[in-house]
Structure 1
């Protein structure tokens, strides 16, 4: 089917209609929200709660910056660990707010390229970073959906047992990946001219450890801001669902999508104005603050590379 010239247009039209429908529902919902109560909920968040949320957000971004160290080991390039972590942090900050094409991919190609890394190596770094991030997601989602499946709203057709079965499938995928890394006699494949090497078991364990820690600390931010109104496994489950929804819809920063998923899954347990207040604080802490820091760091890196560039 993909060989038909009309297939890309069909996917584009379906995607556009879906995004438009989500936008329409969000706008209609927003008209019924008491934004005065939402504002008051944000202002009433205790300073200690906000500081704790900032600490978890900083820890999550720090852990994420370790992802490119896996790529450094995987490709064997010699950039310092500090520079690699800087590039990873900048890319992630822009990725969260502007989308993966600009942030996760574009910024890595520009910054690594300026520092002398070959494009073939950058491609492998980008691939390894994205793979590591989602491998941890799959393992963590498998664990939480299997061990502590989310109690879905009563009107949902999907129930907790079906969510548990999904978790078992995700766990099975993670186990297969680890077994391949440990025992597969074939260690490399060529896909569209690019050689893909299977990591060692030790590297695979490092991938999962870093990525899972990133997702765990990320989920701790909205959990803290909700001030104990839901338990941590519930906050983690909802965040994982919101993350995959944002990826499917291809909306930068998941604008509206994250809020919609949290509202759909938790509004029967938490007053909506409190839920929205916590989510607005979460977006400011986890998305906007790192974006400002990432932009300043990017300008510093650009100025430094231009200063040391050879004269034409």
Structure 2
């Protein structure tokens, strides 16, 4: 009997296999780390450095919350801007730590629907938010890889030209998106029963500006915590690579993957205990602190909504 394997199953098997290899390498590596030195590195981080990193993280989360304001303009709904930004902040905090199905999608549907938005508009907001996030990533990665190609470890045997070529391709994609938004005569497509309207050129520029600023301020957090041991373009390039690796492996918060990428790309330039110390502080500042704030805001929104339902 012949068995036919579908491509989705092959992709899933490859993904699981690659994730298992990464997990094995992380466990093996963790056994060789001097965790006392790592703890000392965290404790030795200056207070002003931690405060600056916290401020940069706050700016990055604030900028991300503007993405749903673009969705507000895109769909034409009239929910208060403050509420829109609040929902966006809450969902992003949960998205970072628990994955996009929980935060980026599930929580958005729950909060927006309870605040009175129709499911069709919520779907369009989610779709545009994802496009905004990744089109900015593509443009920024294209610029960084083209203009500031990452110096890979010598043992890799790969020079910066491969990354520069990738950067050119990414830039071409981002420019094509802008051109499509500016000049396309077809402004609406139907995908799986959903109408997708092409954003205007001004809206596309806003998407790129918001997303690029968000990614740049996000990368500034670990760069600040590394205290100048690498230049900012290098820290930005490594974070962009770590972000896409975490998405491809479907690991919530990129847990372990982010650390593995930073160690693989920077351990030849920075002592590993200092690198891990900075990354632990980065997780606490950029992931866990917003999650705590987002959870408190979520409870506040739920309580207010239930009170309105009781008195309705």
Q: TM-score per shorter chain, which class? A: over 0.9
- Counterpart CA distance in 2 for 1:9 and 1:182 is 39
- Aligned counterparts of 1:239 and 1:5: Cα–Cα separation in 2: 35
Residue 188 of structure 1 is matched in structure 2 by 188
The CA deviation at 1:15 is 1.7
CA drift at 1:6: 4.0
Partner of 1:298: 298
| Aligned-partner Cα distance in 1 for 2:231–2:15 | 34
CA distance in 2, matches of 1:158, 1:116: 53
How far apart in 2 are the matches of 1:152 and 1:11?
28
Query: For the residues of structure 1 that align with 2:162 and 2:151, how far apart are their CA atoms?
Result: 11
Aligned-partner SS, 1:230: coil
State the Cα deviation string for residues 114-163 of structure 1 (Å, max 9, x = none): 01111111000000001000010000000011011111111114320110
1:67-122 CA-to-partner distances (Å, cap 9, x unmatched) read 00000000011100000000000000000000000000011000001011111110
270-279 vs 9-18, which deviates more?
Answer: 9-18
- Structure 1 residue 5, shift from structure 2 partner: 6.5
Q: Which moved more, 1:49-58 or 1:148-157?
A: 148-157
- Which sections of structure 1, spanning at least 5 residues, go unmatched? none
1:134 aligns with 2:161: no
Distance 1:211 1:47, change over 3 A: same
Deviation, 1:310, is 4.7
Secondary structure at the residue paired with 1:308?
A: helix
Say what the alpha-carbon RMSD is for the aligned residues: 1.1
Q: What are the within-5 Å matches in structure 2 for residues 79-98 of structure 1? A: 79-98=79-98
Q: How does 1:26-175 map to 2 (within 5 A)?
A: 26-175=26-175
> Following the alignment from structure 1 to structure 2, what is the Cα–Cα distance between the partners of residues 167 and 192?
31
Task: Find out whether 1:236 has 2:225 as its counterpart.
Answer: no
Partner of 1:275: 275
* 1:6–1:184 distance in 2 versus 1, CA, 3 Å: closer
CA distance, structure 2, for counterparts of residue 116 and residue 310 of structure 1: 16
SS of equivalent to 1:189: strand
CA distance in 1, matches of 2:215, 2:72: 21
Query: Could you say which residue in structure 2 is the equivalent of 1:227?
Result: 227
Tell me the SS of whatever aligns to 2:262: helix
Query: Which residue is 2:213 aligned to?
Result: 213
In the alignment, structure 1 residue 21 sits paired with structure 2 residue 21 = yes
Question: Does the residue aligned with 1:155 lie in a helix, a strand or coil?
Answer: helix
Deviation at 1:309, TM superposition (A): 1.1
- Deviations 1:26-67, CA, capped at 9 Å, x for gaps: 000000000000000000000000000000000000000000
Question: Is 1:266 matched up with 2:266?
Answer: yes
- Name the CA distance, whole Å, in 1 between partners of 2:115 and 2:5: 40
Partner of 1:178: 178
CA offsets 1:169-208 (integer angstroms, 9 cap, x no match): 1111111111111111111111111011111100000000
Question: For structure 2, which runs of at least 5 residues remain unmatched after alignment?
Answer: none
* Equivalent-residue separation in structure 1 for 2:15 and 2:178 (angstroms): 34
* Whole-angstrom distance in 1 between the partners of 2:5 and 2:196: 29
1:13 CA displacement: 2.2
CA distance in 2, matches of 1:246, 1:149: 21
